Amino acid sequence: MLNFDEQRFVRIQSGALAQAQGIHAAISGCLERGARNLIFAGSGGAGILMGPAARLLQTRSTFPVHVELPAELVVSGSAHLGPGSVVVIPSLSGTTRESVAALEYCRERGATVIALVGHEDTPLGTAADYSFVNFAEDDTSCESFYLQSLLVALSVLQVRGEGEGLATVREELGALPELLVGVKEWFEPRAEILAKTIAGDEFHIITGSGNTWPEAFYYGMCILEEMQWIRTRPVHASDFFHGTLELVEQGVSVLVLKGEGPARALAERVEAFAPQYTDKVEVLDAGEFPLPGISPTTRELLSPVLLATVLERVSAHLEVIRDHPLTTRRYYKRVAY
């Protein structure tokens, strides 16, 4: 596979899953001490990657779960934040300015902060009440953050007795890092073709639903826009027919991400509509990716992880085809803002 280090990838994703016991202990302790809500507060891409876990809890648990943007939380506040709040703050660098400010803001208000970081000796890594460190880099961080946040959600469900079959899910996750390598290998030929297709257009509409929507949002904003400077319109499949459909005409690229959960039907509605009006529709269906030995229940939870892992292969080809390294920036961490 192009520019891919298998051992490094497996090590990083195994490291994410190795946080399971510590995360469960932290969540259990917080709930036993009377935690009253859970708040996911991440900046940029790391925050977006918390989306599937937040949605899982919002649909399967009665425990109050909120999603906040750190910068807005600090300037606007939240009536839900205070003693008894458990705030999960992800940051690969551990130094994200808005997230560091949010950590201080939350702790001043009596909240317990759980940090998910890639480096321990950082402001977030050292100041959080609980810090879980798993080194990763941009090309491996999606799966890592998806998996760690999933572990948070699974722990809440388990402690509250609101999830069925969780033991099976946890057991099956152990085989995932190597299985994801197999998914990448299986997808590699299509990844190069899709990268050429994406590189050939200056504008893309990208959509998803349920737990695949965060990956659509992330890939559009953080990869195509930030790392490739390609204009992109991420839109939830539910909202596609409330505005964005008017942008669809011949020659307009539409990329649909499909998962295996109940919200799949929303993405399929876009998939049925778009080809009637444009000749450029690409569908990535997590249900097609091979995961031997993984049950349907676990597969449903892993749709965003699977899509992230194949889109990483697309990105690897895209940066070569466009002669634009994914690390190239004009403004991000280069100028004052």
Q: What mean pLDDT, rounded, does the chain reach?
A: 97
Report d(CA 115, CA 124) in Å as an integer. Answer: 6
Q: Are the C-beta atoms of 94 and 122 separated by less than 8 Å?
A: yes
Mean pLDDT of 299-325: 98
Please determine, for residue 57, whether its predicted confidence score (pLDDT) is greater than 90: yes
Show the domains of the chain with their CATH numbers.
6-163 (3.40.50.10490), 173-321 (3.40.50.10490)
pLDDT-based confidence at residue 109 (cuts at 50, 70, 90): very high
Mean pLDDT of 252-279: 98
Supply the pLDDT for residue 41: 98
The pTM is what? 0.97
Least confident of 48-52, 165-169, 294-298: 165-169
Please determine, for residue 163, whether its predicted confidence score (pLDDT) is greater than 90: no
Supply the pLDDT for residue 220: 98
Angle among Cα 327, 332, 71 to the nearest 5 degrees reads: 130
Q: Please, what is the angle between helix 51-60 and helix 296-321, to 10°?
A: 160
Q: Are the C-beta atoms of 282 and 255 separated by less than 8 Å?
A: yes
Supply the pLDDT for residue 15: 98
% of the chain exceeding 90 in pLDDT: 98
Report d(CA 284, CA 220) in Å as an integer. Answer: 14
pLDDT-based confidence at residue 293 (cuts at 50, 70, 90): very high
Query: What Rg, from alpha-carbon coordinates, does the chain have?
Result: 19
Mean pLDDT of 191-219: 98
Please determine, for residue 164, whether its predicted confidence score (pLDDT) is greater than 90: no
Residue 95 tokens read as: 């130094």
What does each C-alpha distance from 35 to 81, 113, 138 come to in angstroms?
Answer: 11, 12, 33
Angle among Cα 156, 149, 313 to the nearest 5 degrees reads: 150
What does each C-alpha distance from 180 to 6, 249, 271, 300, 315 come to in angstroms?
Answer: 10, 35, 26, 15, 16
Supply the pLDDT for residue 114: 98
Q: Are the C-beta atoms of 78 and 120 separated by less than 8 Å?
A: no
Residue 52 tokens read as: 């599937």
Supply the pLDDT for residue 73: 98
